[in-house]
Amino acid sequence: MNKQTTDVEEILQKKGVKPTAVRMNVLNFLLDQEKAVSLKDIESVLSRMDRSSIFRTLKSFEEHKLIHSIDDGTGMTKYAVCAEGCNCELEDLHYHFYCISCEKTFCLMDHPISTIELPKNFKMIHANMVIKGLCDKCNK
Ligand SMILES: [Zn+2]
Ligand SMILES: [Zn+2]
């Protein structure tokens, strides 16, 4: 067992997710990404796994606050690993960036969504903030 496998196992256990081979593979892949990925992206890389077990794995990761899903307006849900200590609460929400050229979606973890003054008796539950533009590689 290499170092990375141990880490992935540890991360899963810490979040209360039973480390199965499928889960470890999916998490390993997600941790390697600099961008958010769709179910299709994962499927094309981990092609030996069937779609429904990858989907179930993503749902269980999401429930255990290991990853968060992103609606970047493309119609395809993207997933990204949460920062350490993330509880997927309002204060953990951050901006996302969608590059219109390479069509990659990034987490802007350093840019939390600030709370805004809402009308009386309105309650914020979630916010979906996506900035569209060109990423550093496409903006050359
Ligand atoms: Zn780009
Ligand atoms: Zn994110």
**Per-position pLDDT tens, the chain of length 140:** 455 667 999 999 999 999 999 999 999 999 999 999 999 999 999 988 899 999 999 999 999 999 999 999 999 999 999 988 888 888 899 999 999 999 999 999 999 998 889 999 999 988 999 999 999 999 99
User: What pLDDT was estimated at residue 96?
Assistant: 97
For ion ligand 2, residues whose CB falls within 5 Å: 80, 107
- The ligand that comes nearest to the alpha carbon of residue 132 is 1
Span from the CA of 11 to the centroid of ligand 2 (angstroms):
18
* Cα 48 to Cα 23, 26, 81, distances in angstroms: 13, 12, 22
* Cα 89 to Cα 52, 112, 132, distances in angstroms: 27, 11, 24
Span from the CA of 39 to the centroid of ligand 2 (angstroms):
16
Span from the CA of 31 to the centroid of ligand 1 (angstroms):
20
Span from the CA of 96 to the centroid of ligand 2 (angstroms):
6
- The ligand that comes nearest to the alpha carbon of residue 106 is 2
8 Å CB contact between 40 and 13: no
What is the tens place of the pLDDT at every residue in 89-123?
A: 888 999 999 999 999 999 999 999 988 899 999 99
Q: Determine how β-strand 105-112 pairs with β-strand 130-133.
A: unpaired
All structural domains of the chain, each given as residue ranges with its CATH number in brackets, are: 3-133 (1.10.10.10)
